[in-house]
Amino acid sequence: MAKQPIITVKNLVKKYGDFTAVNDISFEVYEGEIFGLLGPNGAGKTTTLEIIETLRDKTSGEIIVDGFSIDKDAGSIKKRIGVQLQAAGYYPNLNLSELIDLFSGLYGVKVTALAMLEKVSLTDKAKAKYKELSGGQKQRFSIATTLINNPRIVFLDEPTTGLDPQARRNLWDLIREIRDNGTTVVITTHYMDEAEILCDRVAFVDGGNIIGINTPDNFIDELVATGFEREKQVKKANLEDVFINKTGKALREE
Ligand SMILES: Nc1ncnc2c1ncn2[C@@H]1O[C@H](COP(=O)(O)OP(=O)(O)OP(=O)(O)O)[C@@H](O)[C@H]1O
């Protein structure tokens, strides 16, 4: 079946004064995939995401999200996407359940707070405040808030930064589940192991340019075909394998 683009970015440019942060990039995200934007600090990933999310103005270019043009119909795009809020948006006196109720009210949709928390395995924290959560729980809660309006696409900006190996794996499972339930996922990450395992396709961004888009497998095969060979790994496991082996796969956040 032909892949259907759900996001089309054409010749996107973003300048901050004289500085060009995004330099005429074009790419498509296909419906139902996990698409990764990878690149060093300052490459332009967050700027690109926030323009697609309608949170930042572009300098020029064209963006279509789920059939809607960002120039003509940003409101329809907002309704169809899920975006992680900055932690500052989580009113400190409300518990998780109350926060979900508040957000669903703002979106004008009816959801059951416990059902949303169930999706991210946080029902036992329904009465807890955001600040009382561990790093992994905070990320899971933040992902739950992106799902409230039953979006067609969710955007996750470095969702696993700072998490321990168990929480990271748990979040990968959650992100795959979101994709398998029919929601397209756009993610940024600095972890290449994560992108290789999780993303269906990735784009490398550097200095405001896209320097390649492909599946992780094809990228690796292309490099190997040039004669590249990684230094031989003499050991069959690494320290992370030891960590997981000794501490188990279960989440340690209670
Ligand atoms: N509001 C702004 N005003 C001026 N320059 C900005 C602004 N926002 C971002 N930039 C610059 O644009 C460039 C791209 O920033 P951006 O945050 O998009 O990078 P990034 O790829 O997401 O980086 P990171 O991996 O560090 O999050 C950087 O050089 C940054 O300093």
73 C-alpha vs ligand 1 centroid, how far in Å? 26
Residue 49 CA: which ligand 1 atom is closest? Answer: 18
Chain-centroid distance, C-alpha 24: 22
* Nearest-CA residue for atom 12 of ligand 1: 21
Ligand 1 atom closest to 43 (CA): 21
Q: What is the per-residue pLDDT across 199-243, written as a single tens digit (0 to 9) for each?
A: 999 999 999 999 999 999 999 999 999 999 888 778 888 888 888
Summarised one tens digit per residue, pLDDT across range 58-78 is: 999 999 999 999 999 999 999
What was the pLDDT predicted at 3? 85
Residue numbers in the chain where pLDDT is lower than 70: 1-2, 86-88, 252-254
SS (H, E, C) the chain: CCCCEEEEEEEEEEEECCEEEEEEEEEEEECCCEEEEECCCCCCHHHHHHHHCCCCCCCEEEEEECCEECCCCHHHHHHHEEECCCHHHCCCCCEHHHHHHHHHHHHCCCCCHHHHHHHCCCHHHCCCEHHHCCHHHHHHHHHHHHCCCCCCEEEEECCCCCCCHHHHHHHHHHHHHHHHCCCEEEEEECCHHHHHHHCCEEEEEECCEEEEEECHHHHHHHHHHCCCCCCCCCCCCCHHHHHHHHHCCCCCCC
Atom of ligand 1 nearest to the CA of 39: 21
Task: Identify the pLDDT of residue 55.
Answer: 93
Q: What pTM, to 2 d.p., does this model score?
A: 0.92
187: which strand partners?
36, 156
Q: Residues lining ligand 1, CB < 6 A? A: 16, 21, 39, 41-47
What structural domains and CATH numbers belong to the chain?
5-247 (3.40.50.300)
Pocket test for ligand 1, best of 46, 50, 189 (most atoms within 8 A of CB): 46
C-alpha to C-alpha distance for 121 and 144, rounded to whole angstroms: 10
Distance from Cα 100 to the centre of ligand 1, integer Å: 30
Tell me the longest C-alpha to C-alpha distance in the chain.
58
Angle between helices 165-180 and 239-247 (to 10 degrees): 90
CA atoms in the 13 A half-sphere facing the CB of 135: 11
Residue 1, pLDDT score: 58
- For residue 152, what are the CA distances in angstroms to 7, 135, 155, 182? 11, 26, 10, 8
CA of 19 to the centre of ligand 1 (A): 10
CA distance 213 to 223: 14
CB 169 within 8 A of CB 249: yes
